[in-house]
Amino acid sequence: MAESALLSIRHLTTEFIQQPDKRVSRALADVSFDVLPGQTLGLVGESGCGKTTTLMSVMRLLPANARISGQVLFKGIDLLRLNEKQMRAYRWKELAIVFQGAMNALNPVMPVGQQIREAILLHKLLPPREAELRVGELLELVGIARERGGQYPFQYSGGMRQRAMIAMALACSPSVLFADEPTTALDVMVQAQVLELLKKIQQSLGLAIVLVTHDLGVVAEMCDSVVVMYGGKVAEYASVDAIYNNPQHPYTQKLLESFPDLNQSAASNLTLASIPGSPPRLTELPPGCRFEPRCHVRLEKCKTEAPPLRNVAEHHYSACHLFLDGQE
Ligand SMILES: Nc1ncnc2c1ncn2[C@@H]1O[C@H](COP(=O)(O)OP(=O)(O)OP(=O)(O)O)[C@@H](O)[C@H]1O
Ligand code: SF4
Ligand SMILES: [Mg+2]
């Protein structure tokens, strides 16, 4: 994988211990990919495949029943080895997240500007007087007039609320922004505006963005590289060009087929749910390939042997026996 990475995720494995029976739900297994400075990486896959868990694991914002292993290397420092106090130097300051569904999480009875100000003070970024000024700057950065900071969330449109959440995430000038489905709840025109804004901010601040989305049209539009996840694992990881023009993994191929016209995707807002069958249960994972029950080209050994993620071309990785067998 890339040597110039800002963030390198290696063999990330996250399990949730269910109560009261202590059953283990393995949400992520051996996830590896790189985030490069100033670039956008797309994270795609069906609901429940582990996209949000990946981001929350990297941010170390998981609930107490989570067990996490592997490495999360930020500029060479393994964040998983830090204690909570040390982690605070990275969370929000270097790595920030716009949570899934965040725009509905604004406090309805507090002006938006004040909420951004409180976030700045909470992270102890600036003294109170300077925080006020920073709120205005942040609002303007996301295209909201600073005077509107005194208004309440109900006085904002959906797109403005989402932009306010982006402003809040950018409060400490992070170098990586995780955006978890930032446009899913918005209508098509507003989606386009928010994505355009993210691009603009990326260019002006040199941010790296990890964009979680169900929309392959958005990926084509926004991303430099793509991680396709299935059942908590990386199925395929490559440049956006290779994913669209030379997909190697049968699951990626099916995803692309299930998305009829990429050029019209913004208008259709389709999800990826149209592949027959459903993803595996995380407490009863099959011993072989997790996609085997739904795979149209499966081999006998796919039932029993899990395919490793292997390099199939330059900067192109796939976890499938079919292609690897051809190579061996
Ligand atoms: N706190 C938790 N305890 C137990 N299981 C969890 C917990 N959080 C997530 N999971 C499980 O981990 C799996 C991955 O969930 P995750 O939210 O990461 O999926 P996702 O890809 O973000 O899905 P979506 O597209 O629906 O947002 C799911 O099966 C989910 O039920
Ligand atoms: S390893 Fe086998 S079952 Fe899995 S995607 Fe490849 S061919 Fe299909
Ligand atoms: Mg999610």
Which range is least confidently modeled, 54-58, 185-189, 260-264, 297-301? 260-264
- Looking at the CA of 99, which ligand is closest? 3
List, for residues 74-101, the tens digit of each pLDDT value: 999 999 999 999 999 999 999 999 999 8
Return the best residue to mutate from 13, 14, 15, 51 for the ligand 1 pocket (most ligand atoms within 8 A of CB).
51
Residue-range domain boundaries for the chain:
7-94+174-327
Q: What distance in Å separates the CA atoms of residue 18 and residue 309, rounded to the nearest whole number?
A: 28
Q: How far is the CA of 299 from the centre of ligand 2 (A)?
A: 7
List, for residues 195-226, the tens digit of each pLDDT value: 999 999 999 999 999 999 988 999 999 999 99
pTM for the full model? 0.93
Select from 313, 315, 253 the least CA-distant residue to 324: 313
List, for residues 137-184, the tens digit of each pLDDT value: 999 999 999 999 999 999 999 999 999 999 999 998 999 999 999 998
Given this model, what pLDDT does residue 122 score? 85
Q: Which residue has the higher pLDDT, 103 or 91?
A: 91
- Establish whether residue 298 lines the binding site of ligand 2, counting it when its CB lies within 6 angstroms of any ligand atom: yes
The ligand 1 atom nearest the CA atom of 63: 1
Band (pLDDT 50/70/90 cuts) for residue 259 is confident
Work out the burial of residue 178: count CB atoms within 10 Å of its CB; fewer than 13 is exposed, 13-18 middle, 19 or more buried. buried
Given this model, what pLDDT does residue 123 score? 79
Q: Specify the amino acid at residue 245.
A: N
Is residue 262's pLDDT more than 70?
no
Q: How far is the CA of 99 from the centre of ligand 3 (A)?
A: 9
List, for residues 18-62, the tens digit of each pLDDT value: 888 889 999 999 999 999 999 999 999 999 999 999 999 999 999
| Residue entry with tokens 């290696």 | 10
Q: Whose CA is nearest to atom 29 of ligand 1?
A: 48
**Region 288-314: what's the mean pLDDT?**
94
Classify 285 in phi/psi space as left (phi over 0), alpha (psi -120 to 50) or beta.
beta
Which one is the CATH code of 7-94+174-327: 3.30.390.30, 1.10.760.10, 3.30.1330.20, 3.40.50.300? 3.40.50.300
Q: Phi, psi at residue 80, to the nearest 5°?
A: -75, -15
Sign of the C-alpha dihedral, residues 223, 227, 228, 232? negative
Given this model, what pLDDT does residue 323 score? 67
Cα 235 vs. chain centroid, distance in angstroms? 15
Band (pLDDT 50/70/90 cuts) for residue 268 is very low
Q: How far is the CA of 147 from the centre of ligand 3 (A)?
A: 33
Q: Which of 201-210, 269-278, 281-290 has the highest mean predicted lDDT (pLDDT)?
A: 201-210
Contacts of 95 (CB under 8 A, 6+ apart): 7, 58, 59, 74, 174, 175, 176, 178
Q: Whose CA is nearest to atom 16 of ligand 1?
A: 50
Q: How far is the CA of 16 from the centre of ligand 1 (A)?
A: 10
| Cβ count near 97 (within 10 Å) | 24
Return the best residue to mutate from 252, 255, 294, 298 for the ligand 2 pocket (most ligand atoms within 8 A of CB).
298
Q: Locate all alpha helices (DSSP H) within 103-187, ordered by sequence.
A: 112-122, 128-141, 158-169
Q: Phi, psi at residue 92, to the nearest 5°?
A: 75, -35
Return the best residue to mutate from 53, 212, 216 for the ligand 1 pocket (most ligand atoms within 8 A of CB).
53
Q: What distance in Å separates the CA atoms of residue 281 and residue 24, rounded to the nearest whole number?
A: 11
Which range is least confidently modeled, 111-115, 126-130, 320-324? 320-324
Given this model, what pLDDT does residue 261 score? 60
Given this model, what pLDDT does residue 267 score? 42
What mean pLDDT value characterizes the chain? Answer: 91
Q: Give me 74's structure tokens.
A: 């930020």
The ligand 2 atom nearest the CA atom of 295: 8
- Ligand 1 environment, Cβ below 6 A: 16, 25, 27, 47-53, 63, 100, 282
- Looking at the CA of 43, which ligand is closest? 1
Residue 62: DSSP 8-state: -
Q: What distance in Å separates the CA atoms of residue 8 and residue 34, rounded to the nearest whole number?
A: 5
Is residue 270's pLDDT more than 70?
no
Q: Give me 302's structure tokens.
A: 């796919």
Q: How far is the CA of 47 from the centre of ligand 3 (A)?
A: 7
Given this model, what pLDDT does residue 271 score? 47
| Cβ count near 80 (within 10 Å) | 17
